[in-house]
């Protein structure tokens, strides 16, 4: 049994750096679903698992009343990858579970499954990412601090596709079969990117 200081730790990073252009400028984090903001729904679920929760944004003033630590991007370029980089850089934890601010239906069962996969073989994982329908879900994934250097190299090349550095690290894929064992309807990957998606979100609204 390892000493407590040697245990692998994992925090959470919420990405809130988008322009919200497809939402007509409305901040997705503050849209209401079931009487609470999408951001509050996300934070509520994350608190079940993580002591360290950070929110990465280009507009920290908007989140002054947030109950989580607010940090800013380190690289000036606006992209999800810059948010992942900032979260990993500021994290005290060895790993960070990354999720966008507009994922109102992230399933605790999926987070639990991903953490159990990490606990089972942390020494062989730099990125744990769901994969289904022929694509990665890099904004619902766990990243190691070992990813910081390859991400920085990629950002310096102005390459913002998150999965482009995956061939440089130890990657573990969570299959669709495993995902559906925790989230049969795959709602964890539902994002509120458009007014139509927001309407659908309100129709699908479920309790905690």
- Asked if pLDDT for residue 2 goes beyond 60, the answer is no
CB atoms within 10 A of CB 205: 14
E strand map for 48-204: 53-57, 69-72, 95-100, 127-132, 135-136, 141-144, 171-174
* DSSP class of 89: H
From the number of C-beta atoms within 10 Å of its C-beta (0-12, 13-18, 19+), residue 108 rates as: middle
Residue 22: pLDDT band with limits 50, 70, 90: low
Residue 8 pLDDT = 87
Topology (CATH level 3) of domain 9-204: Spore Coat Polysaccharide Biosynthesis Protein SpsA; Chain A (3.90.550)
Task: Produce one character per residue of 12-24: b if its CB has 16 or more CB atoms within 10 Å, e if not.
Answer: bbbbbbbebeebe
Domain segments of the chain: what residues? 9-204
d(CA 53, CA 111) in angstroms, rounded, equals 14
Which of 3, 20, 15, 131 is CA-nearest to residue 73? 15
Using the Cα atoms of residue 87, residue 179, residue 195 and residue 207 in order, give the sign of their dihedral.
negative
Residue 156: pLDDT band with limits 50, 70, 90: very high
Percentage, residues of the chain above pLDDT 70: 92
Angle at alpha carbon of residue 36, lines to 103 and 65, rounded to 5°:
90
């Amino acid at each position: 049994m390892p000493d407590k200081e040697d245990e692998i730790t994992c925090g959470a990073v919420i990405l809130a750096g988008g322009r919200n252009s497809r939402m007509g400028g409305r901040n997705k984090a503050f849209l209401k679903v079931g009487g609470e903001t999408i951001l509050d729904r996300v934070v509520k679920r994350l608190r079940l698992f993580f002591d360290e929760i950070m929110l990465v944004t280009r507009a920290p003033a908007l989140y002054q009343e947030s109950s989580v630590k607010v940090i800013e991007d380190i690289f000036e370029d606006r992209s999800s990858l810059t948010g992942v980089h900032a979260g990993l850089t500021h994290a005290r934890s060895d790993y960070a579970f990354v999720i966008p601010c507009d994922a109102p239906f992230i399933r605790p069962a999926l987070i639990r499954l991903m953490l159990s996969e990490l606990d089972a073989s942390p020494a062989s994982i730099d990125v744990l990412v769901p994969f289904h329908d022929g694509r990665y879900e890099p904004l619902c994934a766990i990243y190691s601090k070992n990813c910081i250097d390859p991400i920085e190299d990629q950002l310096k090349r102005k390459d913002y596709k998150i999965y482009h550095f995956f061939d440089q690290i130890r990657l573990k894929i969570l299959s669709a079969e495993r995902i559906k064992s925790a989230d049969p309807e795959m709602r964890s990957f539902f994002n509120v990117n458009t007014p139509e998606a927001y309407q659908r979100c309100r129709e699908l609204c479920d309790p905690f």
